[in-house]
Amino acid sequence: METGTISGKDKFLKRLSNRMGREEAPASVTLPAWSKRPQDKVLEGASQDELVDVLIAHSRAIHTDVVTSTSQDLEKFLQEAVSELGGGPIVCTRDERFSSFGLGNYLKQEEKNGSLHIWEEGSREDNFKIAEKANIGITFSDVTLAESGTVVLFRQEGIGRSVSLLPENYIAIIPKSTLVPRMTQAAKIIRDNQKNGQMPSCINFISGPSNSADIELRLVVGVHGPVKVIYIVVEDA
C-alpha cells in the first residue's frame, strides 16, 4: 500500500490550539469511554452467511443485483455478468486477487482479444481515456458493508478509482470474508491500517449505481458513475 506524506501538520495543529486557548497542541488524544455504543449492536453476532443475506436484501433496494458463487465457479459467473451487461470493452484493476481467485487465464484471453485493459500504473491519462470508453469496470472489494450494500475500495498501486467510476457498468467481486455488518467495523479496519502505517491515499465507498434526484425527487441513475452494478460474492474460506 502506498505511503503518503503530510505537510504543515504541526503548524496547522498549533494554530488551532492557539485559537482554543492552548499554547501547544496536545501530544495525544484520549477518547472518552462512552456509556452507550448502539453502533456495536447492529447485526452483532451475525454469521457471514447471515451478512450475505442482509447484503442481498439491501442491494435490491439500491437497484443492484447480487450473485453468489464458489471460487471454482467464479469465472463462469463473471462471464455471465459481463455478458448480461453487454460485454466489452472492459477495464479492471491490476490486482493479484484476480489470479488467486482463478481468473488469470480469463483476463489474459480477454486482453489478447483486445476487449480488456488492465490498469497501468504511471499511465494516468491513458487509463482515464480507456476507462471512460469502457462498458464495464471490474474490481475487488476490500471491505463490504452488509447493512448498506456498500463496497469499500482502498487506493493502491494498480488499483485506480476510475475503474469503478467511469465505465457505464461496474462489477464488484466481493470475497465473502470482507463482509462486515456496517460502517462501524470498516472504520476500525481503517484506523488499524493507519496505526500500522498502511493508510491508503484514497478510500471509496460505493453503494450500487450512481443515484441522483432533482428538486422534484425524480431519481436519475448514472449521472455521477455507473448506470448498472452487479456484486459477485465469492466463497474464500
Model confidence over 131-174: pLDDT tens digits?
889 999 999 999 999 999 999 999 877 788 888 888 999 999 99
The pLDDT score that the predictor gives to residue 2 is: 53
For position 5, what pLDDT does the model report? Answer: 67
pLDDT band at 237 (very low <50, low <70, confident <90, very high): low
Position 79 confidence tier, pLDDT thresholds 50, 70, 90: very high
If one looks up domain 45-234 in CATH, what number appears? 3.40.50.10420
Dihedrals phi, psi of 36, to nearest 5 degrees: -130, 135
DSSP count for the chain of H helices, then E strands: 8, 12
| Residue keyed to cell 477495464 | 91
- What is the rounded CA–CA span in Å between residue 96 and residue 200? 17
Domain boundaries defined on the chain:
45-234
pLDDT at 152: 94
Q: How many residues does the chain have?
A: 237
The DSSP bridge pattern shows strands 143-145 and 179-180 to be: parallel
Mean pLDDT of 89-100: 91
Q: Residue 74 and residue 68: Cα distance in Å, rounded?
A: 9
Please give the model's pTM, rounded to 2 decimal places.
0.80
Give the CA distances from residue 201 to residues 139, 160, 220, in Å, rounded to whole numbers and listed in that order.
17, 11, 30
CA distance 38 to 100: 38
On whether the CB atoms of residues 24 and 16 are closer than 8 A, the answer is: no
- For the cut 90, the answer to whether the pLDDT of residue 17 exceeds it is no
pLDDT-based confidence at residue 39 (cuts at 50, 70, 90): confident
- 165-218 confidence digits (pLDDT tens): 889 999 999 999 999 999 999 899 888 888 887 787 889 999 988 877 777 777
- Spatial distance between the Cα atoms of 84 and 232, rounded to a whole number of angstroms: 13
